[in-house]
A = this chain, B = another copy of it.
Amino acid sequence: MVSIKDVAKEAGVAISTVSKVLNHYPNISEQTQKKVMDAVEKLNFVPNQVAAALSSKRSGRIALLLKLNMKTQAIDEIDMQYISGALAMAQEKKLDVITVFYSVIAEMNLQEMIRYFSSQSISGIVIFGMNDDDKVLHQLIESQTFKIVVVDGAETNESTSVVGVDHYQAQYDVAQKTMRENMCRSILYIAGMRNSYVTHEKIRAMEDLAKKHNVKLLIRNGDFSELKARNIALRYAKNKDIVVCGSDLMAIGAMKALIDMDIFRPVCGFDGIILMGYVGKQMNTVKQNFFKVASESVCELNRLLNGSSGRKVRLPYTLVRLKYEDIIC
């Protein structure tokens, strides 16, 4: 393996000089800079990130924390977009990435969790799909031991940012659009996980919308489950005018239920996943760019790592209807 030492020898300079050139230190003469870069080029040298991390203490290693649902592929689609978006930006920012599933850390207390990440030289974490009742994670955030970006999260602090679309506004928009396209005096809203931050936001949006337009609103809890949404729709959809769902997967469950009941109600979803194209019926939905969400999260994390302080980053969304023709390729 070719090391910085070889480069130094080849270029006829000291190791530290090579290091400085590579890390863009100021006060290096054009000449030595060129000598070093030539040697790097010639030897095809790539710095050993592990050694660099050890030496500098500032590892450049970040963790992606994902909540994996082993049964529902819609989640797979979103998680894959998250992963690829994150990796793309990580590569650009030269960050080393490890992927961790909630199941791995589920049983840990705060100290164990800190040790777990520390032992891996992690300095930043992107948390996807966090809930209110992930108590230890909240403690982890409050401890400010690591720089953290929470996707679709709520609170920020000095070393914690949140990134995501405005779920309140998006839910409001898509539901209002669906209302306006149809005669609507009453809405069935099938909400996501009760303890999820985005669910609070979305319910708030629906309540405000219902109040503004003076329509009846029935809220039921679908827990992001296709099956639960199906059962809720079977039970309550009949005497409502439209069905609004907190996720596409639940919208699909509800729509399938309506088809089985042989009645029609407009259904709208949330997320814009490809699976929507396979269902046969078109629905309004909010298209989030999960790739972008993740890449922006890593970008933001990188900023935190470089000393900036936590903040809230809002990403755009669009309202769409997905047809089979749109998604086949």
A interface residues, Cβ below 8 angstroms from B: 1-2, 44-51, 53-54, 59, 61, 68, 70-73, 76-77, 79-81, 83-84, 87, 91, 96-101, 104, 111-112, 115-116, 118-121, 225-227, 230, 252-253, 256, 273-275, 278-280, 291, 324, 327-329
Contact = CB atoms under 8 A, between A and B. Distances in A.
Contacts of A49: 119-121
Majority SS at the chain A contact face: helix
Given A44-B111, A76-B80, A253-B328, 8 more contacts: A1-B118, A2-B115, A44-B112, A71-B274, A79-B80, A83-B99, A225-B329, A227-B329
Copies of this polypeptide in the complex? 2
Contact of A73 (B50, B101, B274, B279): B274
B99 A97 contact: yes
A248 to B, nearest CB: 12
Given A72-B329, A120-B49, A328-B226, A84 B101 contact: yes
Given A68-B84, A71-B329, A279-B278, A50 B53 contact: yes
B83 A83 contact: yes
B96 A98 contact: yes
A28 to B, nearest CB: 22
Contacts of A51: 54
Contacts of A61: 50
Contacts of A44: 111-112, 115
A121 B48 contact: yes
B70 A84 contact: yes
A273 B275 CA distance: 13
Contacts of A115: 2, 44-46
B50 A118 contact: no
Nearest to A103: B88
A87 B111 contact: no
A129 B124 CA distance: 31
Contacts of A54: 48, 50-51, 54
B278 A328 contact: no
A115 B253 CA distance: 49
A97 B96 contact: no
A282 to B, nearest CB: 15
A91 B104 contact: yes
Contacts of A327: 71
12 contacts: A2-B115, A46-B115, A50-B53, A50-B61, A70-B84, A73-B275, A76-B80, A87-B99, A87-B104, A97-B99, A225-B329, A226-B328
Contacts of A230: 328
A174 to B, nearest CB: 21
Contacts of A45: 115
Contacts of A275: 73, 275, 278
